[in-house]
A and B are shown apart, each in its own frame.
Chain A
């Protein structure tokens, strides 16, 4: 078990969100999409230039930029 930033996750790696920093519009948009503590996520892929990332949460697919992923801490195995 280790806690890392979402940006550092590998493709196909899964984990559970521990905390979401970020306020204002960005924080709000992140949470609105269900990126809240306790949710299971799995990195599904990365864009051709390795940014943004694409992940799976609650059964749907979501993309976000690396600098946005920095606000999210994930516990991984």
Chain B
């Protein structure tokens, strides 16, 4: 039988490292039912027995203010694991024990893994482990999670403790006279009415009432409104009393006394310092330079550029392999399948779809490798610290910068890994606002659209135009974030009380596990949806196509073209190399290509997407877009670079390669209805309108709801349209 144990500890205490050491690669990530909080589980087999390890939570406290903490509390109470393994950073004992104390108050079996013993030793911190264990009345095992030291002893201790089956009594601390008296009174009421006693220890419930814990109070209200009212009246009395006599309130008092309790334990010769504990560590000396007012921002820019370069330059290499592979697969299918719908489905629907899903994998891997490095090393926290002032103005968080940069804050990123990069944000509102606005950045797929339009209409000021585009997208994204944070995602900024952990060199194993986990999640969760949508979109751009009569028209054109020009069969001309043809045949071949392109254009116009494009012309003309642009923009929902190739088809130029847009930009610069103003309007629209559907799927997964995904499609498109119309109409007025 395997025993369930849960890991919990402060952030940066080494919890993930210990989890990896215990479970190795035998872990999987799921969700707690009904919420988006991740549940990481793994199996640990050892001589001491088999354990089912749950990575429970990394937090400083056990309040009801974050979803994670509530979920963890519910888990502890409802699933009652055999043991909670509390990872405590030995080099930071006093603060880490604050969480331990709260576990003990809850009366669940706790075993302390006193981690980072090597760091503590290096800093001259000596800990009397037996004494600590005795005073806390829980087992304490020293560990070094990074090297695996202490693992065996930890598991043996846990096994022995569980086998011993000792009854656990909730820890009783004195929180000061006034509160203690109130607690006794409330405990009495709770016991006699059996109020929630089936779930929580009586004194704990009372304590939570005093702490104004909304989850427990809400539960109590539902369970028994009378007892609830009675308890609340006691709370009110104490609150008033404390306010009058000490100028404080129960919640503050309780926290103070918890720290007081910890301090009194440590004072009993549990910890001795060989040096001043506040002495500057090596890490602080690095910080004096790295977060310096002047050097700090410069270094940060360099690091961000480095991360960007790393992701997109090196990530592009395996991405190229993937593309080449799927290109090859496509050409195999091209040769093996007969012309027709099946072929089109296999190539444009399935192969391109799967290729589309997997094409992002190298980017995601490289990005998470880079971000994990910055996160594990401790630099990410410094970045948030330095940028907080700027991003807070827009209702975001200092850590948001990473997601913006990856999405294309430096033109050429990708919103898919960008949206996923918001994982590092711990504050839910700031995170949501970030992941909804990062798609406004100029990802690599939007660039060909800009390059095309700039080349056609602003060829004298290319660099300036591109810079302006980047600025517009940043300003737009930040302003929209501000707007969202004061409307739909309204609310106070999440407190920025944050630890700057000491700099540490990350372990390769930790980085790889983290990267693999994220990448696999993307493939598994987003992959299937993306493939499905890709086929759907293919169908929209293909069906119903041309009917027989219409096809006949093009067929007639071909025959007419050949008449009197050549005796060679058309099939032969089509497949032959141009060099092998006589000049007459060559011109026939060119004529045939023209007809093919016209047919493709007609087919596109007649498809569902085409009909939508035509139908929307009545509205889109206010922004200066005709049906061709509309279809192209609809195609952009597949991937932004498709805008270019679809425009090519719509202008009967065949599928234009997004890398080679010369012919198309020439065509546009002389096309009817096109001018600099139309170009600006289309650029604005491209920056702001609905993200590509891969990004939309990722938004749904990261925000935990399709509602936000739908929002990003509808809101962004409406915003883009509004801006484009404004630009086009005002521009037309000025120019006329």
Contact = CB atoms under 8 A, between A and B. Distances in A.
Contacts of B291: 45, 47-48, 54
Contacts of B492: 25-26
Contact of A29 (B98, B278, B495): B495
Contacts of A64: 495-498
A35 to B, nearest CB: 8
A68 B60 CA distance: 18
Contacts of A61: 283-284, 287, 499-502
B100 to A, nearest CB: 13
A62 B498 contact: yes
B255 A31 contact: yes
Interface residues of B, number: 47
Contacts of B392: 65
Contacts of B686: none
Contact of A42 (B60, B92, B247, B278): B278
B252 interface: yes
A56 interface: yes
Interface string B273-305: 000011000011001100101101100000000
A50 B293 CA distance: 8
B358 to A, nearest CB: 40
Contacts of A44: 284, 287
Nearest to A61: B500
Contacts of B249: 23
Interface residues of A, number: 40
B390 interface: yes
Contact of A54 (B94, B255, B385): B385
A49 B255 contact: no
B63 A32 contact: yes
Given A23-B249, A47-B385, A61-B284, A28 B95 contact: no
B497 A56 contact: no
A68 B495 contact: yes
A59 B251 contact: no
B495 A48 contact: no
A74 interface: no
A50 B386 CA distance: 9
A33 B499 contact: yes
Nearest to B254: A31
B458 interface: no
Given A31-B256, A36-B256, A37-B256, A58 B94 contact: yes
A32 B283 CA distance: 23
Contact of A52 (B251, B288, B296, B385): B385
A47 B389 contact: yes
Contacts of A52: 385, 388-389, 496
Interface in A1-31: 19-20, 23, 25-31
B328 interface: no
B500 A62 contact: yes
Contacts of A46: 293
A34 B65 CA distance: 17
Contacts of B86: none
B251 A63 contact: no
Nearest to A31: B255
Interface string A60-77: 111111001000000000
A37 B260 CA distance: 10
Given A32-B63, A47-B385, A58-B94, 6 more contacts: A32-B60, A34-B98, A54-B287, A58-B92, A65-B388, A65-B496
Closest 5 pairs (CB-CB, A-B): A31-B255, A32-B61, A49-B389, A59-B277, A61-B500
27 contacts: A19-B248, A25-B65, A26-B492, A28-B251, A32-B497, A33-B60, A34-B94, A34-B95, A47-B291, A47-B385, A48-B386, A49-B390, A51-B388, A54-B287, A54-B385, A58-B94, A58-B277, A59-B277, A60-B92, A60-B95, A60-B499, A61-B284, A61-B500, A62-B497, A62-B499, A62-B500, A65-B388
